[in-house]
Every structure is written in structure tokens, then in C-alpha cells.
């Protein structure tokens, strides 16, 4: 399933960059072909959009000639973090040194810790810093920490990380929606990731059924702020406002 999320996000990132509305338009701009091969190539690109087929390295290289951002999304550490069969220790070590100090703090503590408890304020401060990043990397770190805690049978701690991860899902809601995976990813967190790593998963307090409505309400609140200020907020200001609205 994470491979599906990666491929769909990659396709939509490319489509958004091109400013077109159809699969054929994306394909023609990225991979022009002959009339004889047009039908087959278009079918393959429709499979990218639905996540049914992963783009080859050659196709990714063609897309990168237009923009590098889709490749970065395709290779985001989040997809590795989400794979149930992938060792969270391996993913955590790969992330170490590539993120912020707060992110490294969490990863190092979860990799090295032997005690069952720590100062909850220390953990919350760093989890909130990950949420406030408002990007896939922050979500990846929180997700890895969910898995590391679950692997160590620290269900309460896993649930703490999970709740911050789902806060991050809400912050990222508009981006995830624009990239075609918002609802499916929310369902993955609630119905697959949570039960796999949190014994007390009935207390997850996150509902994928209400996820898109929560994202919509948050977007409306941001629009109201921009209307009141008579200006468009920067990305950083939007995330700061969202964190304040959600009282994270």
C-alpha cells in the first residue's frame, strides 16, 4: 500500500506542476510517443495515477527533466516508515542526521532507550516540533516512532506518537488531498497502522471517517484569517495558524 501512495503522489505532483487536468496531457508533456504506441502508453500513465503500476526509473528520469519535486516525493522516507514489513530501526537510522535536532532527538532516544518511561514534556515538545514542520519528513519520524514504541511493547508511548502523527495528517490535509491520497492514507493510519502497533488502539481518537471534514474546516479557518488580514499567508504562517487552531 505505501508504494501505491508514493506513486499516486508522484503522478499528482507532476500534474500540478504542469497545470493540466488529464492523464493524457501529463503523459504527452512527459513522455511523447508515436500514434502507434499512444494507447498503450496512456494506459500505463492511467495506472500511475491509480497507483496500480510503479513508474520505471526511465519514466522518473523523464519527469525530472520537467521538475525534480515529484522524484523527491516518490522517494520520501514516509513510504518506508509506513511499510509494516520494514524494520523501523533501519528506517530510523537512515533518517538520523537528515532531519532537525528535535527529529534526531526522538529517533536517537527511541533507538537507544532501555527505560520504559521518560519526561512526557520532553517527548511532547519534540513531537509538536515534528507536527509544526508540516511536511512528509515530520510525519515519517512520528510514524517510525509509533513503530519503534510498538515493537518495544510500549503501547502508551506508541499511542502518544500516533496522536501526533494524526495531528500531522490534519495539518498536511490539503497537500495530501491535492496529491490524491488524503482519505486512503487516513484510513491506513487508523485501520492498519494503529492496530498493528498500539494494543490500546480503541483509544486512538482519530477517525478517518471525519478526516476530510476536519481538513475542510481547517482550510476554511485559514481562508477566514487571510480574508481578515487581506493577504495570503506564507506556508510557515499557515502551519503556525493551523497548529494554534488545533491547539497542538
Q: What is the pLDDT of residue 169?
A: 95
- pLDDT at residue 114 tops 60: no
pTM here is 0.90
* Positive or negative torsion for Cα 209, 210, 215, 216: positive
- Tell me the C-alpha distance between 42 and 218, whole Å: 36
Q: What is the pLDDT of residue 137?
A: 94
Q: What is the pLDDT of residue 94?
A: 93
Residue in 247, 70, 73 with CA at minimum distance from that of residue 170: 247
> In this structure, are residues 22 and 103 in contact, taking their beta carbons and an 8 Å threshold?
no
Mean pLDDT check: name the lowest of 10-14, 143-147, 238-242: 238-242
- pLDDT at residue 25 tops 80: yes
Which three-class secondary structure state does DSSP give residue 176? helix
| 221 compared with 247, residue with greater pLDDT | 221
- pLDDT at residue 200 tops 70: no
Confidence of residue 198 (pLDDT cuts 50, 70, 90): confident
How does pLDDT run across 41-76, given as a tens digit for each residue?
Answer: 999 999 999 999 999 999 999 999 998 888 899 999
Amino acid at each position: 500500500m505505501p508504494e501505491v501512495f508514493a506513486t499516486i503522489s508522484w503522478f499528482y505532483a507532476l500534474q500540478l506542476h504542469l497545470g493540466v487536468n488529464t492523464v493524457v496531457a501529463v503523459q504527452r508533456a512527459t513522455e511523447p510517443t508515436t500514434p502507434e504506441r499512444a494507447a498503450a502508453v496512456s494506459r500505463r500513465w492511467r495506472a500511475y495515477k491509480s497507483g496500480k503500476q510503479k513508474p520505471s526509473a526511465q519514466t522518473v528520469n523523464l519527469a525530472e527533466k520537467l521538475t525534480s519535486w515529484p522524484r523527491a516525493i516518490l522517494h520520501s522516507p514516509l513510504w518506508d516508515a509506513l511499510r509494516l514489513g520494514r524494520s523501523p530501526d533501519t528506517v530510523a537510522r537512515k533518517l538520523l542526521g537528515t532531519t532537525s535536532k528535535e527529529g534526531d532527538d526522538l529517533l536517537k532516544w527511541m533507538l537507544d532507550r532501555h527505560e520504559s518511561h521518560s519526561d512526557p514534556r520532553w517527548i511532547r515538545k519534540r513531537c509538536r516540533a515534528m507536527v509544526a514542520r508540516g511536511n512528509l519528513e515530520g510525519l515519517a519520524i512520528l510514524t517510525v516512532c509509533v513503530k519503534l514504541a510498538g515493537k518495544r511493547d510500549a503501547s502508551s508511548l506508541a499511542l502518544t506518537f500516533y496522536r501526533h502523527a494524526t495531528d500531522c495528517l490534519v495539518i498536511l490535509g490539503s497537500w495530501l488531498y491535492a496529491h490524491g491520497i488524503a482519505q486512503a492514507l487516513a484510513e491506513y493510519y487508523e485501520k492498519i497502522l494503529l492496530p498493528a502497533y498500539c494494543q490500546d488502539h480503541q483509544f486512538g481518537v482519530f477517525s478517518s471517517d471525519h478526516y476530510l471534514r476536519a481538513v475542510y474546516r481547517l482550510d476554511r479557518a485559514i481562508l477566514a484569517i487571510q480574508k481578515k488580514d487581506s493577504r495570503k499567508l506564507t506556508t510557515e504562517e499557515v502551519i503556525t495558524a493551523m497548529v494554534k487552531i488545533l491547539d497542538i
